[in-house]
Structure 1
Amino acid sequence: MDKQGGISLIELIIGMVVFAIAMVIIVSFLAPQAPRSLEPIYQIRATELAKSMLNEITAKAFDEHSDRIGGKTRCSQGASPSCSAPAELGPDAGESRDRFDDVDDYHGLSELADSRDNSLSALYQGYVIQVAVVYDADLDGVADAVIGDKKLIVVNVQTPGGDNIEFASYRSNY
């Protein structure tokens, strides 16, 4: 009798079990990595959003009472009017986002929109932004209760993954 070559049913079942065990081990190592692979993308987009916001804010005048063309008149300097009090920081009455003209108008901003007040919610879905502007003349990162010559701008971006990333910059009265 000729012996035929091939795989018996038992060998086939054992092979499938070994393959299944190997796949379970491989998938158990790879599956937890999938959500973490998005974190760098979230962080890059958060950086892009915050940097854009900081560029927009720092391009504005130091204060409502400062000269917007060339800095010839600076608030709280000589005969110029006093700078806005710490309690007055934020948008001026009736001022919409597309009319923001000085740094402290952004204090308390939490909407995802560009400088023309166009929504960015679709582009940055799941992101949350919060802007704070405070006086910080001694550059210690703590808000001063008095008018100073430097404002600390803090932009906090929360990614869809739940990470809070904080960016900060100073704007001086020059």
Structure 2
Amino acid sequence: MRVNKPAGFTLIELVIGIIVFSIALVLFTSLIVPQAIRSVDPVFQVRATELAQSLINEIASKSFDEKSDRTGGSALCSQTVTPLCTTSDDFGAEEGFSNRENFNDVDDYDGLSETDGGIKNALNENVTIGNANLYQGFSAAVFVVYDDNMNGVDDALDSGGNYIGKTKLITVTITTPNNENILFSTFRSNY
């Protein structure tokens, strides 16, 4: 007569199975979870690009300098002939005109910094989809310097400050909600 043993797993087999399953689960989650978190990066990058491009378009559409002729005439500011262009030490918004609605030349934007709900369009309106701010969590910073040789370095650093040039480098830095800094730049020449 034959006695049948009950079929099943031993305690050791169960413990080894749980350990193998735990290791596989840890490996799987360590590969998948970071990818899920990064899946929003392209959305942030597209929004950052749109914001930077709109700022660059707005800035580049302004006069080269406060002292340039805005009526399409031939009077351009200069390094040596009157009217002299604004010196690099005097970049930034003119006194009493701290919002973008009143900016009328490229160097007015130097030092502009906007974040979250403070990011507005050229008409000083919030940018929304539905009732949600499109750029919540973003920040934008603008810097303008003279860069005649177009090497990306402020020419005032080489000359000891207070410089006047023919080409301005406009740099827009957008920081996304996940703290990625994306840099955009363009040149605006005196013509």
Q: TM-score, normalised by structure 1?
A: 0.82
Q: In the TM superposition, what is the alpha-carbon distance from 1:157 to its structure 2 partner?
A: 0.5
Q: Please name the residue that 2:100 is paired with.
A: 97
Residue of structure 1 equivalent to 2:187:
170
Q: Is the 8 A contact 1:129 1:158 kept in 2?
A: yes
Q: Where does the alignment leave 5 or more consecutive residues of structure 1 unmatched?
A: 1-7
Q: Any idea what the Cα deviations from partners look like across 1:74-97, whole Å, max 9, x if unmatched?
A: 001785410001111011111131
**Other-structure match for 1:142:** 153
5+ residue gaps, structure 2, are 1-6, 157-162
- The CA distance in 2 between the partners of 1:77 and 1:86, in whole Å, is 12
Deviations 1:93-148 (A, max 9, x none): 11131011100010000122211122348210111110000111111111122100
**How far is the alpha carbon of 1:9 from its aligned partner?**
9.5
1:119 aligns with 2:126: yes
| Number of the residue aligned with 2:160 | none
Percent of residue pairs identical: 46
**Alpha carbons of structure 1 residues 125 and 9: separation in structure 2 relative to 1, 3 Å:** farther
| Partner of residue 109, structure 1 | 112
Instruction: Determine whether 1:160 maps to 2:171.
Output: no
Moved more, 77-86 or 134-143: 77-86
SS at match of 1:32: helix
What root-mean-square deviation, in Å, do the aligned CA atoms of Structure 1 and Structure 2 show? 2.4
Q: In 1, are the aligned partners of 2:79 and 2:165 still within 8 Å (CA)?
A: no
Q: Which amino acid aligns with 1:41?
A: V
Task: State the distance in 1 between where 2:47 and 2:154 align.
Answer: 28
